[in-house]
Amino acid sequence: MLLGLGIVLGVAGIGFLCWLLFLCAVYAAPLFVAAMVCTMLYDHAMMSGAHAVLAGIAAGITVLALGQAILASTRDCVLRVIVSALFALPAALAGFGMTLGLSRLGDMGAIPTYIFATFGALCVGGAAWTRLCAIQPT
């Protein structure tokens, strides 16, 4: 009884994490920019900890707003593909990392683990790409 409950809850937990990853995949690029700006400003002693965090948050919000504004306002296919790719590639990397981590919980070999992680990266990157392409210009 308890073993069955544990298996069901484990599958539900992994399913929830995958759903959350697919939902938040579009925000991987702004989060990456925010983390990099915060780290660079703090490591090079340009700002204190709180100021570096606030500058990182501002940079992430700027990247998100700029990307959304470009996708919502332009009809140029090349520019839309470039912006969508810049947002979908970090999402694919996040999908690769999460799928790799989840697949290492099992007892698979190295090659099947990386094949599974590559498939996860393609799925998450494709989902982010689809969500970004759904933004129609006004």
Q: CB of 95 within 8 A of CB of 23?
A: no
Residue 8 forms part of a structural domain:
no
- Residues 11-42 have pLDDT tens digits of 888 888 878 888 888 888 898 999 999 999 88
Structural domain count of the chain: 1
Q: How many residues are given for the chain?
A: 138
Residue 17 forms part of a structural domain:
no
Range of the domain at 40: 24-133
pLDDT the model gives residue 4: 83
pLDDT the model gives residue 11: 84
Mean pLDDT to the nearest integer, 72-82: 89
- Provide the whole-model pTM: 0.79
- Residues 41-75 have pLDDT tens digits of 888 877 788 888 999 999 999 999 999 899 889 88
Mean pLDDT to the nearest integer, 83-92: 91
Per-chain mean pLDDT for the chain: 88
Neighbours of 115 (CB within 10 A): 13
Residue 7 forms part of a structural domain:
no
Q: What is the DSSP string of the chain?
A: -HHHHHHHHHHHHHHHHHHHHHHHGGGHHHHHHHHHHHHHHHHTTSS-HHHHHHHHHHHHHHHHHHHHHHHHH---HHHHHHHHHHHHHHHHHHHHHHHHHHHTTS---HHHHHHHHHHHHHHHHHHHHHHHHT----
Residue 39 forms part of a structural domain:
yes
pLDDT at 138 over 80: no
pLDDT the model gives residue 28: 87
Residue 80 forms part of a structural domain:
yes
Residue 49 forms part of a structural domain:
yes
Residue 62 forms part of a structural domain:
yes
Residue 13 forms part of a structural domain:
no
